[in-house]
Homo-oligomer: A and B are copies of this chain.
Amino acid sequence: MTKKPTKAATRSAASAKGNVPVTSEEAAAPASSRAARAAERRAAIVEAALEEFIARGFAATRLDDIAKRAGVAKGTIYLHFKDKESMFEELVRIVIVPVVERLTTLPPPTGSVRDLVEAFATNFLKEVANTRRGDLVRLIVAEGPRFPAVADFYYREVVSRGIAGMRALIELGIARGEIREKNLARFPQILVAPAMIAVIWQSLFARHAPLDAQEMLRVHLDLIFGERRTT
């Protein structure tokens, strides 16, 4: 079979029209242009949908707008997603899964518990609070009650894991004498609360009163672990 020629042609055609700003160093990838373009389009749709849903909420988002933003016809969306609702649900999964993976893989077994938590916090700020991801959290809070599937998923994949992880850290901190308040292990939510508040604050009140999240989290850790810096 002669497969080479087609490939070359495909290639140039794709790159000529495709100012698709998504990923892509598929330079090495031998991806057949057909499949590659499909993947690109899907990615563009996901990106556009995320943007629109965050900006307008589920109900007020028009699929026409998503299509336009993605540079795709409306029908194309339905080649990738069953309907608006399941698109939203898949979207949340698609965006969250990699973040969870990255955050759970991180823990470098360094020194004190405080350092661990602080590193985690810094990372959280960089990866979530100051990103589109932060708005996604707000979106989940907003739409959760109307999308039990989303709320469930988020609880299972993010919240319960996060709480469990934090609890483990707290217990370690207590065991090592870094944390005085024993009851904290019963409510790891307390450890995370200011971070969540920071996320919400940024998207609602930042323009009224900017919040130095990094510094706030540090103060909060001082509260839990006792002072430390020269401050």
Q: Mark A204-226, 1 if CB is under 8 A from B, else 0.
A: 11001101000110011011100
Q: Count contacts on A: residues with CB < 8 A to the other chain.
A: 48
Cα A47 to Cα B142 in complex, Å, equals: 21
A60 touches B216 (CB 8 A): no
Cα A222 to Cα B215 in complex, Å, equals: 22
CB contacts (< 8 Å) of A145 on chain B: these are 55, 138, 203-204
Cα A65 to Cα B55 in complex, Å, equals: 26
CB contacts (< 8 Å) of A151 on chain B: these are 204-205
CB contacts (< 8 Å) of A82 on chain B: these are none
CB contacts (< 8 Å) of A159 on chain B: these are 205, 208
- Answer whether residue A24 sits at the interface, using C-beta atoms and an 8 A cutoff: no
Cα A229 to Cα B159 in complex, Å, equals: 30
Q: Given B142, B197, B220, which contacts A196 in the complex, CB threshold below 8 Å?
A: B197
A190 touches B57 (CB 8 A): no
Task: List CB contacts (< 8 Å) of A148-189 with chain B.
Answer: 151-152, 155, 159-160, 181, 183-184, 186-187, 189
Binding site for B on A (CB under 8 A): 55-60, 138, 141-146, 151-152, 155, 159-160, 181, 183-184, 186-187, 189-190, 192-194, 196-198, 200-201, 203-205, 208-209, 211, 215-216, 219-220, 222-224, 227, 231
What are 24 A-B contacts defined by CB distance under 8 Å?
A: A56-B146, A57-B142, A57-B143, A59-B59, A59-B60, A141-B142, A144-B203, A145-B203, A145-B204, A155-B208, A155-B209, A159-B205, A181-B227, A184-B219, A187-B219, A189-B197, A189-B198, A189-B216, A190-B216, A192-B197, A193-B193, A193-B196, A196-B196, A196-B197
